[in-house]
Structure 1
């Protein structure tokens, strides 16, 4: 069921993009702000307590590595993980760099998902707007339907694959705490970047502040 839900999060985002046929992603800013606040809260409330059985400095090291890894991935994905896609291609070939960077991100975020925490909800709320924005990019860039569907299908499989590996491969189970700490770093960077970019020109926006508070509160109540 977890694998199916993780896959459907991307599929739902793609279908929503087809239905909306939006020309810009401006309307997504509110939902992105909510998803960023929700993901940040779930990371702090659900994942951080899991990893503190290990010596704190080692946890911190892996969290820092996760942040640095996400920064490196965003060099190739151009920020697609937090709602930005800035790629320019006249050949309309399969965007391999975007695919590999997003796949590593998506694969890793599947590792900490379990029945013992609620991080699954945070990932779903995070993945749907990302899938919508990715779909918008492919539609606006006039990529073929075949390339678009192939990309979204493979991307949708990455997070369930990560969860599958974490549950059935002994090596990943042995280093589950370290991997979770790595993912915490990734989530911290992505979610805080979303919140930082959610206000145009970084000006105060009451509506988005309320949305962010609602995101924090919802995650806490869950």
Structure 2
């Protein structure tokens, strides 16, 4: 069920991007909403579980996730937080680099899922929520103009990356779970904070952005409370 949910989130996002990709405001709003959800999952679920491991050095893994995401963005050019506006016109993203960066990113997210069975898990829903805007952008970038076999190959690889990470995670010692969570938590923290805290135009308050962040936070907190009581 978890694997189906992961793949479905990518497929839905891709088709939304294919047919509604001209609306950059839609993609931006979806990203902001998902960022509010994702950063809340980090501070309310991921980080508390990480620090329960009582390893005083585990924070280094979180910082490692932040740094790793910065490296991955040299390949994806910031796809994960919406910097796609003119990339397809400038042709400055090599498909192979984009594919590699997105695959590694999604694969790592999937590893901690090996120890999760609940489909209402905030961590799982954080990935699903995060997949939608990324897949939207991917669908916009790859399918609006090209829609060829290679484009679908990249999309299929991305859709299977987290499930493959989940399968791969079964081979690790369960005691390593906090370290993988810390690494992915750092990745989530970097992506969501960049989306939320990027400078607004003329540094004016963007009330729509604030509302979307609050909505994303609210959805994550509702899920957190629901999950805590089950």
> Is TM-score (shorter-chain normalized) higher than 0.5?
yes
Contact between 1:29 and 1:198, CA under 8 Å: does it hold in 2? no
Q: Secondary structure at the match of 2:125?
A: helix
User: Cα 1:201–1:150, aligned 2, differ >3 Å: closer, same or farther?
Assistant: farther
Among 136, 158, 161, the alignment partner of 2:161 is 158
**Counterpart in 1 of 2:209?**
208
**Counterpart in 1 of 2:196?**
195
Q: Secondary structure at the match of 2:112?
A: coil
CA distance in 1, matches of 2:68, 2:74: 10
Q: CA deviation at 1:44?
A: 1.2
**Counterpart in 2 of 1:128?**
132
With normalisation by structure 2, the TM-score equals 0.86
Q: Show the 5 A alignment for 1:84-123.
A: 84-85=83-84, 86=87, 88-89=90-91, 95-113=95-113, 114-115=116-117, 117-123=121-127
**Counterpart in 2 of 1:182?**
183
**Counterpart in 2 of 1:23?**
22
CA distance in 2, matches of 1:162, 1:201: 41
**Counterpart in 1 of 2:10?**
10
CA distance in 1, matches of 2:211, 2:25: 18
Q: Runs of 5+ in structure 2 lacking a partner? A: 224-230
CA distance in 2, matches of 1:49, 1:130: 26
Query: What are the Cα deviations for residues 28-64 of structure 1, in whole angstroms up to 9, with x where unaligned?
Result: 2222111001000011111111111233531110001
Contact between 1:42 and 1:219, CA under 8 Å: does it hold in 2? yes
Contact between 2:9 and 2:131, CA under 8 Å: does it hold in 1? yes
How many pairs are equivalent? 216
Q: Runs of 5+ in structure 1 lacking a partner? A: none
User: Cα 1:202–1:160, aligned 2, differ >3 Å: closer, same or farther?
Assistant: farther
Q: Which runs of 4+ in 1 moved over 4 A?
A: none
Query: What are the Cα deviations for residues 113-167 of structure 1, in whole angstroms up to 9, with x where unaligned?
Result: 3236321111111111110111111245x3342121111011100011111222x
